């Protein structure tokens, strides 16, 4: 049984991760930002503990981390899942939207890790799982800010794995392909079908399929894996 903090656990892949870890008997604290009703329903369904947090702000993340430690005693596994997507030509992205995407998707990961790491280092053990995207690996047209933020998450993961490996802490990244969640609700059906057709497995993925990889990376079965980017994309890239 482990103590898990899932940052961005109210919907989609994060909510699937809450269910997966809880069904395995782990203690789970998860954060939500806007989806209070969904977070409360997930609490009732799974017994996991929700805490409000805006990852764009370091202080808000610290409150969530402190709450997780006070509820569970420690954090064995940190999952940095919160993110927003944006579809726009680079010439149309405003500077404030750029800042919002980088703050949420990249700085938010930095804040969570910075607030959790000291306790992991003092215990000389821990597991951190970041969430990138196949677009962070290969880039997506009209998703320059999102792709840049997710490429940053990959760089952060690889560098941090080297830095904290000697402290017994593993850091890995899950890199999903197209997954059926709210994040893609504005993508038109023909674009989704096109991606499914180009995918060797012939479909988009489900949130539970990403959560299963998180569960594996958090387990002792992955005890010699660190600094890696694990694609969950049906073979698309």
What distance in Å separates the CA atoms of residue 56 and residue 53, rounded to the nearest whole number? 9
State the minimum distance, in angstroms, from the CB of residue 204 to ligand NDP.
7
Beta carbon nearer to ligand NDP, 13 or 28: 13
Q: Which of residues 186-205 bind ligand NDP (CB under 6 A)?
A: none
Give the nearest distance from C-beta 224 to ligand NDP in angstroms.
25
Instruction: Give me the DSSP letters along 98-167.
Output: HHHHHIIIIIHHHHHHHHHHHHHHHHT-EEEEEE--HHHHH--TTBHHHHHHHHHHHHHHHHHHHHHGGG
Nearest alpha-carbon partner for 146 in 101, 178, 182 = 101
Residue closest to ligand NDP, measured at CB: 12
Does position 184 interact with ligand NDP (CB under 6 A)? The reply is: yes
**Residue 216 annotated in active site:** no
User: Is residue 130 a contact point for ligand NDP (CB under 6 A)?
Assistant: no
- State the binding string over 34-73 for ligand NDP (x if CB under 6 A, else -): xx-----------------xxxx-----------------
**CA quadruple 199, 200, 205, 210: dihedral sign:** negative
Our finding on whether 126 is near ligand NDP (CB under 6 A) is: no
List residues bridging with 29 in a β-sheet: 5, 49
Check binding of 27 to ligand NDP (CB under 6 A): no
The residues, ordered by sequence, that sit 6+ positions from 226 with a Cβ below 8 Å of its Cβ are 161, 165, 170, 171, 172
* Contact status, residue 198 vs residue 138, Cβ threshold 8 Å: no
x/- site string to ligand NDP, residues 76 to 115, per CB under 6 A? Answer: -----xxxx-------------------x-----------
Q: Does 206 bind ligand NDP (CB under 6 A)?
A: no
Q: Is 22 in the site for ligand NDP (CB under 6 A)?
A: no
**Of these residues, 32, 111, 146, 216, which one is catalytic?**
146
Residue whose CB is less far from ligand NDP, 34 or 124? 34
Nearer to ligand NDP, 154 or 225 (CB): 154
Phi and psi angles of residue 175, each rounded to the nearest 5 degrees, phi first: -125, 90
Per-position DSSP letters for 13-78, written without gaps between them: HHHHHHHHHHHTT-EEEEEESS-HHHHHHHHHHH-PEEEE--TTSHHHHHHHHHHHHHHHSS-SEE
Site residues, ligand NDP (CB under 6 A)? 8-14, 31-35, 53-56, 81-84, 104, 131, 133, 176, 178-179, 181-184
Catalytic residues: 146
């Amino acid at each position: 049984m482990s103590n898990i903090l899932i940052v961005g656990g109210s919907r989609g892949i994060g909510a699937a991760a809450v269910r997966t870890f809880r069904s395995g008997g782990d203690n789970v604290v998860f954060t939500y930002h806007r989806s209070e009703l969904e977070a409360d329903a997930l609490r009732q369904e799974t017994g996991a503990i929700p805490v409000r947090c805006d990852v764009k702000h370091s202080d808000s993340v610290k409150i969530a981390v402190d709450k997780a430690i006070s509820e569970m005693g420690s954090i064995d596994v940190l999952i940095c899942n919160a993110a927003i997507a944006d579809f726009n030509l680079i010439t149309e992205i405003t500077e404030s939207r750029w800042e919002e995407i980088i703050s949420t998707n990249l700085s938010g990961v930095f804040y969570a890790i910075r607030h959790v790491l000291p306790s992991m280092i003092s215990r000389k053990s821990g597991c951190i799982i970041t969430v990138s995207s196949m677009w962070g690996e290969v880039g997506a047209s009209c998703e320059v800010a999102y792709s840049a933020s997710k490429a940053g998450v990959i760089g952060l993961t690889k560098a941090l794995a080297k830095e904290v490996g000697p402290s017994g802490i593993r850091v890995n990244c899950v890199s999903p392909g197209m997954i059926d969640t709210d994040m893609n609700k504005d993508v038109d059906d023909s674009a989704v079908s096109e991606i499914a057709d180009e995918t060797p497995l012939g479909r988009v993925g489900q949130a539970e399929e990403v959560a299963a990889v998180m569960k594996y990376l958090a387990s002792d079965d992955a005890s010699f894996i660190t600094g890696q980017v694990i694609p969950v994309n049906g073979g698309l890239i």
